[in-house]
Amino acid sequence: MRPAVPHPEVTSDSSSLDSNSATASSDLEKIERRRAQNRTRQLRYLQKKRQYENDLMASVATLQTEMQRLQQYLHQIQSTESNSSFCPALPNWTGSVSTNILQTAQSFVRCFRSGFSPTEQAPWLPCVSTDQEQVRFVQRLIHPDVRHGELDGQNAFLEQWRRYTTFFGSLTLVPSSFELLSHGDEPESGCRVELTMSLDLISATFRNVFPHLRQPQYAGLHNRLMNQQIHVPMTLLLQSDDEDRVVRYDQSLDLVEALRPVLGSYEDVAVVLQDAHISSCGHIRSDVSSVQCDARLALSFVLNVD
């Protein structure tokens, strides 16, 4: 007896079912992959959205802080203008100098509130003409061998103020406090002044203070800083001698705090300050090789700021 031969139609139907099943399985896998891809895209979108919202909130907080600070500066300026005793007029130079260190500090802020723009060539002291207010102040109340940071002498003192005035678009000093300091048995031999120095960043700033930012690789930082105004927290320590002349003048400028709101990150601040023509005590120098950069500006420091 011969074995039964499968019917051709039955074999064809079975193959068709297997093919349809494989096709359906492949379609399901594709659908699952698309769903997984969609979920991944949605997750990335949500993450970017949250990051954007966080960045936006941080920018708003920074702007609010700057607004409060500027309002405080405006209030201080208005108070200074309305209160003549806050920054008294310079003493009458025809008599002996009898002002104490506090009056000297107040007079200094008033004299240099907009910097120093001499009309004659350096050196300015000694000179016959004393028509300029800043020169008169230095001649009468600054010791000829005054020590200020890495420099000494009246002309070096004035030169630093000339550079700040010339290398920036504008300069404005706004004091916030004057504090007498005791030194041994002389309760009024020193004074600490807390103030803010507002500076406009212009082309001359990048030629003389931040020349490295003119290189192509720093074009982004250069463009972000150009024509910006920064507000530099500043501390002055003045020490006088028995004749009420300033024999030591130490300044401290917090350029990190001034640049951080404009640049948004300490990494960018480090790039700007690392090769700047400015010393750790705020002296503007003519070449990088002679400048001792503040070690706190190193990238290893700013990346570990709390």
Burial of 185 (0-12, 13-18, 19+ CB in 10 A): exposed
Grade residue 304 by pLDDT with cuts at 50, 70 and 90.
very low
Q: How far is CA 84 from CA 95, 101, 143, 244, in A?
A: 22, 18, 27, 22
Grade residue 206 by pLDDT with cuts at 50, 70 and 90.
very high
Q: How far apart are CA 213 and CA 233, in angstroms?
A: 23
- Using an 8 Å Cβ cutoff, are 238 and 99 in contact? no
The encoded tokens of residue 163 equal 């550079």
pTM score of the predicted model: 0.61
Instruction: Provide CB contacts within 8 A for 187, sequence distance 6+.
Output: 180
Collapsed DSSP state (helix, strand, coil) of residue 305: coil
- Using an 8 Å Cβ cutoff, are 143 and 245 in contact? yes
Q: How far apart are CA 110 and CA 14, in angstroms?
A: 101
Task: Render pLDDT for 64-90 as a digit per residue (tens, 0 to 9).
Answer: 776 766 666 666 555 555 443 344 444
pLDDT at 163: 92
- Using an 8 Å Cβ cutoff, are 241 and 247 in contact? yes
What value does the mean pLDDT take over residues 271-290?
Answer: 77
The encoded tokens of residue 89 equal 């007029």
Pairing of strands 142-148, 246-253: parallel
